[in-house]
């Protein structure tokens, strides 16, 4: 029985974090296979909103082929005496939360990167039209955010219409994001936290500071401030900065206290400007993933729309799996587009001078924020396909990371009695941070340790048997 009698499925917080696998999927909206998708909230005047109206432009759910991936735009217009333009991104991000209250309906990511799935079970129960989803969203928005007095919702599946509106939405997102670029973290007294993704990542908390955007790219410092003001008991809250413990890594005592509390003690410390030393936790909605490339001692970055494998031989999904769920994984890091424009972007790790490989789509979007002398020295999937090619590219371009390279000491010839030893697997010590947790039947868990070693040799320890 639903909390709303006219909705055919249940609605409640118990469904947050639900996963719908492809075999159980009736249809999906957006996601990696669909280039055009978006969600947008616009503040309107009271006389511009038809309260309770739900419009559908294009095929409705019941008209879509089972198992298909469909383009989708969600456009919500709100009005109220206290509704301001600054609240648009705050309200917009709640779409993620409220969609996940619906039984059999999964919502991931944000803005231009949304991904939703409807389960076969929910469809069979009667959730076969956007009308129901629109009604649920409207009722939850009004119940949770009373400042919203009027609301109307439009679902768009017409591909041409979605594409056109998405272009307009991108301009709006950019205008919002630009607000905090001139402010520095040291110039404000407080930061803000966001735990909206904790249903998917129990130990995760996004820190919203002027120089560190949310991983999903939807919320900045101004948005956190606005959200905490209008909904003090909601997912956004004030974080007292406390003492600055390390200005280079961006470690603050108040932030450490907050993450310790929100992660129930699982995470003790985080750095805002490093992906190696106590890095910021990652949820699952991050726009891009940063990854360490030990062979060149550099950093690569790809986004969700990246097709195929990156220069290290791994696709986005594999690397995202290493750091999502609220984990702290040195060498893998969830990054928002806006953070790449920050004055403090990975400053403890070398910033842009340490980045060696970037998806071409990302490079184009943040090009203006990359130091101009580095733009042509950053490789993309169009330039290199493997690590050896990457090495050659960086050397030919004179990338600053090349000066970090050191010649490995020559290997000593093995003693005669050891000649029959099996060839061990050798892992450079600096690559340990980027190594997946599980490899071929064994698991390596490293916590609060620093290892300095020329190499790690992993073998069976047994001599081969003689014939």
For residues 30 and 128, is the Cβ–Cβ distance under 8 A? no
Query: For residue 280, which of 324, 240, 337, 234 has the smallest C-alpha distance?
Result: 324
Secondary structure (DSSP) of 44-96: --GGG--TT-EEEES--GGGSPTTEEE-EEEEEEEE-TT--GGGHHHHHHHHH
pLDDT of residue 448: 52
- Angle, vertex CA 339, rays to CA 432 and CA 272, nearest 5: 55
pLDDT of residue 465: 43
The residue with tokens 């503040």 is 43
pLDDT of residue 24: 95
Query: For residue 70, which of 107, 24, 37 has the smallest C-alpha distance?
Result: 37
Reported as type and span, the H/E element at residue 364 is helix 360-365
Q: Label residue 181 exposed, middle or buried (CB < 10 Å: 0-12, 13-18, 19+).
A: middle
Domain limits, the chain: 13-178, 181-404
The residue with tokens 């009604």 is 135
The domain over range 181-404 is classified in CATH as 3.40.50.20: no
Q: What is the rounded CA–CA span in Å between residue 213 and residue 216?
A: 8
For residues 311 and 322, is the Cβ–Cβ distance under 8 A? no
Q: Tens digit of pLDDT per residue, the chain (467 long)?
A: 457 889 999 999 888 878 899 999 999 999 888 989 999 999 999 999 999 999 999 999 999 999 999 999 999 999 999 898 888 988 998 898 899 999 999 998 888 889 999 999 999 999 999 999 999 999 999 998 889 999 999 999 999 999 999 999 999 998 888 887 878 999 999 999 999 887 778 899 999 999 998 888 878 888 888 888 888 888 889 999 999 999 999 999 999 999 999 999 999 999 999 999 999 998 878 889 999 999 999 999 999 889 899 999 999 989 988 888 888 889 999 999 999 999 999 999 999 999 999 999 999 999 999 999 999 999 999 999 999 999 999 999 999 999 988 754 444 444 444 433 333 333 334 444 444 443 333 345 454 545 555 544 444 444 444 43
Task: State the number of CA atoms in the 13 A half-sphere of 144 facing the CB.
Answer: 19
pLDDT of residue 2: 55
Q: What is the rounded CA–CA span in Å between residue 69 and residue 288?
A: 22
Q: What is the rounded CA–CA span in Å between residue 270 and residue 259?
A: 8
Phi, psi (degrees; rounded to nearest 5) at 57:
-110, 105
Reported as type and span, the H/E element at residue 135 is helix 130-144
Q: Which two tokens stand for residue 376?
A: 């042509």
Nearest 10 degrees: Cα torsion 429, 433, 434, 436 = 100
The domain over range 13-178 is classified in CATH as 3.30.1650.10: yes
Reported as type and span, the H/E element at residue 259 is helix 253-262
Cα dist from 285 to 76, 167, 171, 428, whole Å: 21, 21, 21, 31
H runs (alpha helix) in 149-220: 159-177
Cα dist from 125 to 11, 19, 43, 122, 155, whole Å: 13, 18, 34, 5, 21
List the helix and strand counts (H, then E) for the chain: 9, 21
């Amino acid at each position: 029985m639903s909390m709303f009698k006219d909705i055919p499925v249940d609605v409640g917080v118990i469904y947050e974090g639900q996963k719908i696998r492809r075999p159980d999927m009736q249809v999906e909206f957006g996601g990696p296979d669909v280039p055009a998708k978006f969600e947008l909230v616009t503040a309107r005047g009271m006389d511009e909103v038809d309260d309770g109206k739900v419009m559908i432009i294009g095929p409705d759910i019941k008209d879509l082929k089972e198992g298909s991936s469909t383009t989708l735009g969600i456009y919500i217009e709100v009005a109220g005496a206290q509704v301001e333009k600054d609240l648009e991104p705050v309200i917009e991000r709640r779409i993620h939360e409220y969609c996940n209250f619906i039984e059999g309906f999964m919502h991931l990511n944000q803005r231009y990167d949304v991904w939703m799935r409807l389960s076969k079970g929910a469809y069979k129960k009667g959730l076969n039209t956007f009308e129901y989803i629109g009604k649920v969203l409207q009722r939850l928005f009004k119940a949770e955010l009373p400042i919203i007095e009027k609301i109307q919702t439009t679902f768009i599946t017409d591909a041409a219409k979605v594409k056109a509106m998405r272009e307009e939405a991108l301009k709006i997102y950019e205008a919002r994001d630009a607000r905090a670029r001139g402010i520095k973290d040291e110039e404000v007294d407080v930061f803000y936290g966001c735990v909206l993704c904790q249903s998917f990542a129990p130990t995760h908390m996004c820190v919203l500071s002027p120089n560190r955007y949310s991983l999903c790219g939807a919320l900045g410092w101004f948005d956190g401030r606005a959200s905490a003001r209008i909904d003090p008991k909601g997912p956004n809250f004030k974080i007292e900065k406390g003492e600055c413990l390390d200005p280079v890594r961006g470690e603050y005592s108040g932030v450490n206290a907050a993450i310790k509390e929100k992660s129930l003690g699982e995470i003790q410390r985080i750095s805002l400007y490093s992906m190696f030393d106590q890095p910021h936790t990652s949820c699952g909605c991050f726009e891009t993933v940063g990854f360490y490339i030990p062979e060149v001692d550099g950093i690569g970055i790809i986004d969700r729309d990246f097709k195929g494998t990156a220069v290290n031989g791994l696709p986005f999904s594999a690397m995202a799996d290493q750091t999502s769920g609220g984990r702290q994984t040195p060498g893998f890091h969830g990054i928002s587009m806006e953070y790449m424009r920050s004055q403090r972007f990975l400053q403890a790790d070398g910033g842009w001078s340490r980045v060696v490989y970037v998806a071409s789509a990302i490079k184009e979007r943040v090009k203006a924020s990359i130091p101009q002398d580095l733009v042509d020295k950053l490789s993309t999937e169009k330039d290199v396909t493997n690590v050896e090619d990457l090495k050659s590219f960086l050397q030919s371009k004179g990338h600053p990371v090349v000066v970090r390279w050191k010649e490995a000491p020559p290997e000593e010839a093995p003693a005669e009695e050891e000649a029959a030893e099996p060839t061990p697997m050798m892992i450079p010590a600096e690559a340990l941070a980027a190594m997946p947790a599980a490899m071929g039947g064994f698991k390596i868990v490293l916590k609060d340790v620093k290892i300095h070693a020329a190499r790690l040799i992993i073998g069976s320890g047994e001599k081969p048997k003689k014939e």
